[in-house]
Structures are given as structure tokens and as C-alpha cells.
Amino acid sequence: MNTIKRTDSENPDFVALVKMLDAYLAVTDGDEHAFYSQYNKIDKIRHVVVFYENDIAIGCGAIKPFGEDAMEVKRMFVTPQGRNKGIASKMLTELENWTKELGYSRCVLETGARQTEAIALYKKNGYQVTENYGQYVGVENSVCFEKRFFPSL
């Protein structure tokens, strides 16, 4: 049975999954890992989702406020055994729904240019490449995305 749990960054399953994510990114980001890791702290994140398959945590993601109208998607990760099952899209949809429930009109995110699976995921889910924002301006390896939500009439 699959479930998505809304929680926060104190959740031990989230903390464990983020450690796996950081180990993975240390390899793929290479020399740039230290730059990125300074922006990926997880303390005090109030909006976290953890995906469970048969009560085992195999995926996570988070959102945090970014300006007045946006939430930034952070710490998206699915364990190798959970990949290619649509789990990342389900978690992303849950984060988007939570963003809308909180009254925000868009999600923004950044991923590395070498994260081809992540780039494909975001494009498949309606995210548009946008100008690099904030600390990612001028960073060649960064690809920034945005997805706007419009109020239903």
C-alpha cells in the first residue's frame, strides 16, 4: 500500500532520505557540491512530504516560502528501488496542492544541469525553464523552473 504523509523536517524518515540524497548529489555535483549544500539545509522546513510503499519511506520532497507568492520545491528524492514508478510526480502533485492550499500562486525550483531525470520530471509536470533566481543567478550548472497556478473560475 502506498501513502504520502505530510509532515515537517523533524520527521526521521525525511532526515534519513535526505542523507541518501546528499550522498547521491555529492557524486553528481562533484566540485560544486559544497556550493549547493549550503542552500539545502533542512532545519525548520514546515512543509515536507514522505512517500511510503508498504510502510517503508522511499521518497521525499519539501516546499518552503519563496517571496510573497511562491513556494520553492526542495529536497526531492526517490530511492533507487522506488524509481520509474511515478512516485516523484505524485509527491510533486502533493506539494503543488499544498502550495495552493496555503494561498501561493506558483512553485519555483532549481536543479542541476546534470540531473537529467529531474529535468525530465519537472518538464513532464508542466514546469517551465525560467531565469536563474537568487543564489543561482550566473551559476552555469543550475537550471531553474517555475509553475504558475491560476485560480479556478
Task: Give the three cell numbers for residue 84.
Answer: 520509474
CA–CA separation, 105 vs 64, rounded Å?
Answer: 13
Q: What is the pLDDT of residues 72-131, one digit of tens each?
A: 999 999 999 999 999 999 999 999 999 999 999 999 999 999 899 999 999 999 999 999
Angle between helices 116-124 and 87-101 (to 10 degrees): 50
Sign of CA dihedral 131, 107, 84, 33: positive
Judged against a pLDDT cut of 70, whether residue 68 lies above it is answered with yes
Return the pLDDT at 153: 43
| Right CATH for 2-148 from 3.10.20.30, 3.30.450.30, 3.40.630.30, 3.30.420.40 | 3.40.630.30
Task: Give the three cell numbers for residue 142.
Answer: 543550475
Q: What is the pLDDT of residues 17-58, one digit of tens each?
A: 999 998 888 777 666 656 666 666 777 899 999 999 999 999
Query: Phi and psi at residue 103, in whole multiples of 5°?
Result: 90, 15
Looking at the chain, the whole-number percentage of residues with pLDDT higher than 70 is: 90
